[in-house]
Every structure is written in structure tokens, then in C-alpha cells.
């Protein structure tokens, strides 16, 4: 760990920070700008495109989001994911292409992250009351009884016939990947429609498509988990910037804080000394899965993971309010805070 980090830099505030926290600075030329804000997938979503016929494209995007929400909801009894989770155990259930693709991707990422991201986490998420905001601390006996149900290696997926089979009691949760999936699908769609510039924010998880219309890079602020605006900003084009943090959803009980990111190996909220993990990547669903997985892994294992894969960049904020950034980001980052660069 010590030699993992070769240099400590003070990243001076190189540029003034014309962004809002977990938001982006918009192009100065508001040419043919179309935007919408909707509440869906339990979060505030904002969509902005620049170009001809943006309004129609935005409407198509909104419809797509509502369709995905209908399919992926864990609480609506008519959603496809709910039906799959509640189906009699060990029976094949037919899937739509969207659910099958996200499940296939999630199983792959569960393997890649050695189960730190696991889409079968839902029984535990439910036990902690994070689905209906009815928070509670489950007993150790309850957690022990649910842990065997969290094991994505037991999911059977048949992509040829678009169907899946879960053991009895296993339930799925796409909460850590769905926003990324939607961002990727929307940007693919917008590119196909001929748009070069768009800004998509799903509850602060950002996809910055292309460059700003004035040709400059997007300036994305990463929120300080302890409040007070952005802690770091990254300059990007065609990138997702996705953050997982304990501060995003939590409750306190008897002076203890419990948050919504669960360690699949213990059944408890993941406490590894990290306050937030932000991933900067080409694919938003990759960033979404990884931000959750690395939050569970902790800093040391995350650094090893980054070194092995080298296909994303990351910003870590610890509970001691220290900032760590991967080296390829150093040139793109501005911060008024001291940050340690990871090589």
C-alpha cells in the first residue's frame, strides 16, 4: 500500500470552478438546446442535448427511461424483475432483452469484482429496509439466514432463449447498475440520431457526451461527501462520471450509521474506510458497477484492481477526508484540497 502511492501532490486550484456539485458546466453557446427533468428510477434525471430536433429525441429518451423503470423496479409487483425474483424457484422465466442483457452484464461484473458487486444482493437490501425507506438493523440470525441467497454464481441465464432461473428465495436488484445501463443506452441512441453533444445526469451520475459546443471539455464536479460542494473536478469528454457514497442513502440507529451499499460477504453495510468512490470510464454501466464494487473492496484492494484492469480512472475520498486519485487523472483534476496520486 505504501509504495502504491509514490507522490503526494497538492493540486492547486488551476481553474475557477464554474460547475455545480455533481453537475456540469454547460456550453456557453446555447445553440438548439433541448432539455428535460423527470423523476424516475427513484432519482432526479436531467437530460440535455444540443442540435436539431433535440426535443423529439429527449421525449424518446424519457419514454425509454420509463420503460426501463417498469421492467427493473424491485418494488412494483408487475415489474419483470419482481416477477423473476418471485417466481417459483428453479423454474425458467422468460426475459426481455433489456433484463437479460443487464443480468448477463451484472453476472460478468460480479465475477470480475469477485462478488463485491452482486446483483443478488436484494434480500439483504430489503432486510435493512432500504427498499421502502423502512430502515432497521436486522439481527445477526436474520443476516445469516439471508447470506446464502446472495450468490450470483447460482443464477442460470440462457441468452439464446432469453430466460433465467433463480434458486428459491433469491432476488435481484439492479440498483447499482441500472443508471449506468440507461446512460449508455441513451447516449448510443443519441449518437445514432446524429447528436454529438449531450449531458445526462441520473441522480448526479453523469454521462458527458462529446465536447461542449464551444469545443471545450466538460468540467464535472465530484461532491464532497462531507458537504460544501465539489471536492475535485475532472475535465472529460465522452465519459461517465459515477459516484457511490455512503452519504447518498443512510440511516442512524443507536449512534451508528448504516448505508445502502452492502458487503455481500458479511451482509452489513460496507465499512472499509471509504466515504465515496467515483469512477470515470467510457461505459457508464461499467462505472456504475465498479463504483459500488470498489466502495465495498476498500482502498487497498481497489488500487490493486485498478492496476490490473487499467480501463477506468477513480477518485476515492476516505472517511478521514483524504483524497486519492489515479495517476491518469492528475492532469485533468482541479482541487482546492490535497490529493494523493495513485500509480
Interface with ligand AMP in residues 205-244 (CB under 6 A)? 244
Coil/strand/helix, residue 227:
coil
State how far the Cα of 288 lies from the Cα of 157, in Å rounded to an integer. Answer: 22
Residue 73 interacts with ligand AMP (CB under 6 A)? no
Coil/strand/helix, residue 239:
strand
Q: Are 225 and 275 in contact (CB under 8 A)?
A: yes
User: x/- string (CB under 5 A) for Mg ion, residues 286-325?
Assistant: --x--xx---------------------------------
Q: Candidates 99, 261, 297, 329: give the one binding ligand AMP (CB under 6 A).
A: 261
Residue 106 interacts with Mg ion (CB under 5 A)? no
Would you state the cell numbers that stand for residue 122, as one nine-digit string?
436484494
How far apart are CB 289 and Mg ion at their closest, in Å? 6
Q: How many residues of this chain bind ligand AMP (CB under 6 A)? A: 18
DSSP string, 168-216: TT-----TTTHHHHHHHHHHHHHHHTT--EEEEEETTEEEEES--TTSP
Tell me the residue number closest to ligand AMP, measured at CB: 175
Cβ-based nearer residue to Mg ion, 288 or 313 = 288
User: Which residues does 142 contact at the CB level (< 8 Å), separation at least 6?
Assistant: 127
Taking CB under 6 A as the binding criterion, the range among 151-159, 184-192, 221-229, 290-298 that sits at the site for ligand AMP is: 290-298
Q: Candidates 130, 181, 306, 312: give the one binding ligand AMP (CB under 6 A).
A: 130
Going by C-alpha positions, the residue among 56, 17, 18, 61 that lies closest to residue 40 is 61
Cβ-based nearer residue to ligand AMP, 17 or 262 = 262
Interface with Mg ion in residues 152-191 (CB under 5 A)? 176
Q: Candidates 49, 57, 98, 125: give the one binding ligand AMP (CB under 6 A).
A: 125
Residue 51 interacts with ligand AMP (CB under 6 A)? no
DSSP string, 115-126: TSS-TT-HHHHH
Residue 283 interacts with Mg ion (CB under 5 A)? no
Cβ-based nearer residue to ligand AMP, 119 or 210 = 119
How many CB atoms are closer than 10 A to CB 92?
12
Dihedral (CA of 293, 294, 298, 300) sign: positive
Burial class (CB in 10 A: 0-12, 13-18, 19+), 122: buried
Q: Which does 115 bind (CB under 5 to 8 A by kind): ligand AMP, Mg ion, none?
A: none
Residue 184 interacts with ligand AMP (CB under 6 A)? no
Residue recorded with cell 438546446: 33
Residue 171 interacts with ligand AMP (CB under 6 A)? no
Q: Candidates 80, 173, 185, 313: give the one binding ligand AMP (CB under 6 A).
A: 173
User: Which residues does 149 contact at the CB level (< 8 Å), separation at least 6?
Assistant: 120, 123, 167, 169, 170, 171
How far apart are CB 115 and ligand AMP at their closest, in Å? 8
Query: Which residues lie near ligand AMP (CB under 6 A)?
Result: 117-119, 121, 125, 130, 173, 175-176, 244, 260-262, 264, 288, 291-292, 296
Query: Which residues lie near Mg ion (CB under 5 A)?
Result: 176, 288, 291-292
Amino acid at each position: 500500500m505504501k509504495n502504491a502511492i509514490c507522490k503526494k501532490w497538492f493540486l492547486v486550484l488551476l481553474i475557477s470552478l464554474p460547475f455545480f456539485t455533481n453537475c456540469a458546466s454547460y456550453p456557453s453557446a446555447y445553440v438548439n438546446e433541448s432539455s428535460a427533468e423527470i423523476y424516475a428510477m427513484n432519482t432526479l434525471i436531467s437530460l440535455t442535448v444540443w442540435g436539431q430536433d433535440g426535443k423529439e429525441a429527449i421525449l424518446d429518451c424519457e419514454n425509454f427511461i420509463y420503460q426501463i423503470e417498469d421492467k427493473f423496479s424491485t418494488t412494483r409487483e408487475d415489474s419483470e424483475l419482481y416477477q423473476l425474483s418471485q417466481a417459483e424457484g428453479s423454474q425458467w422465466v422468460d426475459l426481455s432483452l433489456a433484463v437479460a442483457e443487464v443480468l448477463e452484464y451484472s453476472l460478468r461484473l460480479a465475477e470480475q469484482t469477485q462478488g463485491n458487486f452482486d446483483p443478488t444482493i436484494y434480500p439483504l437490501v430489503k432486510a435493512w429496509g432500504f427498499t421502502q425507506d423502512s430502515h432497521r438493523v436486522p439481527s445477526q440470525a436474520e443476516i445469516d439466514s439471508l447470506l446464502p441467497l446472495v450468490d450470483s454464481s447460482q443464477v442460470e441465464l440462457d441468452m439464446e432463449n432469453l430466460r433465467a432461473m433463480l434458486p428459491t428465495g433469491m432476488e435481484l436488484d439492479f440498483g447499482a447498475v441500472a443508471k449506468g445501463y440507461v446512460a449508455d443506452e441513451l447516449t448510443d441512441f443519441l449518437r445514432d440520431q446524429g447528436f454529438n453533444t449531450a449531458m445526462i445526469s441520473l441522480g448526479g451520475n453523469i454521462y458527458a457526451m462529446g465536447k461542449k459546443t464551444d469545443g471545450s471539455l466538460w468540467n464535472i464536479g465530484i461532491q464532497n461527501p462531507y458537504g460544501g460542494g465539489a471536492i475535485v473536478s475532472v475535465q472529460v469528454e465522452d465519459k461517465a462520471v459515477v459516484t457511490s457514497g455512503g452519504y447518498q442513502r443512510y440511516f442512524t440507529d443507536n449512534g451508528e450509521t448504516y448505508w445502502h451499499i452492502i458487503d455481500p460477504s458479511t451482509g452489513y453495510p460496507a465499512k472499509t474506510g471509504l466515504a465515496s468512490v467515483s469512477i470515470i470510464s467510457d461505459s457508464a454501466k461499467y462505472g456504475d458497477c465498479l463504483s459500488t464494487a470498489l466502495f465495498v473492496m476498500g482502498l487497498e484492494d481497489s488500487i490493486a484492481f485498478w492496476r490490473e484492469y487499467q480501463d477506468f480512472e477513480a477518485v476515492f475520498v476516505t472517511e478521514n477526508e483524504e483524497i486519492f486519485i489515479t495517476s491518469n487523472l492528475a492532469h485533468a483534476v482541479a482541487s482546492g484540497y490535497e490529493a494523493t496520486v495513485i500509480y
